[in-house]
A and B are shown apart, each in its own frame.
Chain A
Amino acid sequence: MPRYFTEEHEWIDVEGDSATVGITDYAQEQLGDIVFVELPDVGAMLDKGGDAAVVESVKAASDVYSPISGEVTEANGALEDEPALVNSSPEEEGWFFRLTVGDKDELIGLMDDKAYKAFVDSL
């Protein structure tokens, strides 16, 4: 299952016509203690690069953008009770939402694991 990354520090796992989105370990570390995650509603239509979720740390609110366009099929309910999952397990249990893959071509231009690592090292 290929995983892609954006320059805004989201990750996206693609499996057939469905994808799972979250934020990277680097992003959670930058944010610090996460106290609340506002997730999109199931059925919401997201645009590539558009607002998808908001993470609230103690200090500030930050936008999470959708790496691709699609319809939200599931939001991670576990984050409601335990937003700190984003800190402890950002790239697994702390996933944000699932959506349909509307246009596979939108994945072109996203980074793979190696490219993202190089990108973070350059920051």
Chain B
Amino acid sequence: MDKAHARPALGFDILSDSQHDDDAAEEIGLGTLPLDAWHRARGARMVPFAGYEMPIQYSGEQISHGGGIVAEHNWTRDSASLFDVSHMGQLGVSGASPDVDAGAALEALLPGGIRSLKEGRMRYSLLLNDDGGILDDLMVTNAGEQFGLVVNGACKWDDIAHLREHLPDDITLTHYDENALLALQGPKAADVLTALVPEAGALTFMTACSADWDGVPLWISRAGYTGEDGFEIAVPGEFAEKLADALTADARVEPAGLGARDSLRLEAGLPLYGHDMTDSVDPVSADLTFALTKKRRETGGWMGHEAVMKVLDTGPAQRRVGLLLDGRMPAREGAEVYSGDTKIGTVSSGGFSPTLGRPIAMAMIDAAYAGDGAQLTCAVRGKHLPATTAPMPFVPHRYFRGS
């Protein structure tokens, strides 16, 4: 190309995600996940993501809704979709002997209550550096004999290095890299999964259990990244196809790719690591204060405590907010946010909401403007698009908390 264009030309790798960690992946080559062939057989468009070839969307006659990001998105909101999230890191943390307290060891690195987590319960947490910056966000589960961690695919190698460096030597860290992870998400997910695995029906949001399915050991969590009710199912890689086949044999389930996963999580107000939070953003600024368990704010003893408490006391300079945009033109990551003529922040994720039929975004903006209803603009290609700060989620969560 002879000139520098701001955006990709048509047909030029349009749907690939420019994850900041892709450079490292290119050096070592892209990995293949257990469902690779399964996706390709279903018309998936595969793109490099977090070091792997991953499906971004599907197409073709095998998909009852026809495929594409919007159809996959809407199907997830109306029925149930199967997402392959096997790129994520599945880790186990346990004491080398029964008298070693793995929960206490994790509490030195995570700002949430881990020892207070009852067996079968899970919690959203953060890995922080000494400056209070977010190294990754993750789910921690008390799985009985150990704690299970699910971390972002793009961060998992750094997370493992960080954990190994800071956890005591009598703590065993296991990487379940042979496992696949399938997410079944949507209002019909529970009916579908319960028909195969009855134990899943007893779970409520943010609880987990092991199950035996036809001789295959599963670890099932009632959680997800879409705002809908749903499950994440860890399964040995060799049985991933069998499970994916069994789930999609149900007419209520269709596969969905990373594209829909991104638009769904944006509507659900769920931040994406590397975009809405980074190692230079603290949990208070990222609007993740809920992940700092109240008691542990006082007792401290976790990496980054001092720095984070300072921000809690004085208030953050900037804060992550939701933006509802007028019109149809989306503001993407990197777009500048203005109040009048003053630049007050930057869009960290943005796109078109299929559910709301309008553009939405998350932005990191000066805290003075972070209250709901602030009238701002986003600068996109020389235009100032009217935007209003809005509470998140943009689309209400529909988690199952018990009947």
Contact = CB atoms under 8 A, between A and B. Distances in A.
B41 interface: no
Nearest to A28: B10
B7 A63 contact: yes
B14 A57 contact: yes
Contacts of B226: none
A57 B84 CA distance: 23
A38 to B, nearest CB: 7
B218 to A, nearest CB: 32
Interface string B4-17: 01111111101100
A54 B69 contact: no
Contact of B11 (A27, A58, A60): A27
Interface in A37-58: 38, 49-51, 54-58
B162 interface: no
Given A36-B329, A36-B352, A38-B329, A58 B69 contact: yes
Interface string A15-48: 0000000010011011111011010000000000
Nearest to A51: B5
Given A36-B330, A56-B329, A59-B351, A30 B11 contact: yes
A92 interface: no
Given A33-B68, A35-B352, A36-B352, A61 B263 contact: no
Contacts of A30: 10-11, 14-15
A9 B13 CA distance: 13
Nearest to B332: A61
A86 to B, nearest CB: 11
Interface string B109-124: 0000000000000000
B70 to A, nearest CB: 4
B254 to A, nearest CB: 16
A63 B12 CA distance: 10
Interface of A: 8-10, 23, 26-27, 29-33, 35-36, 38, 49-51, 54-65, 83, 123
Q: 3 nearest interchain CB pairs?
A: A35-B352, A33-B70, A9-B10
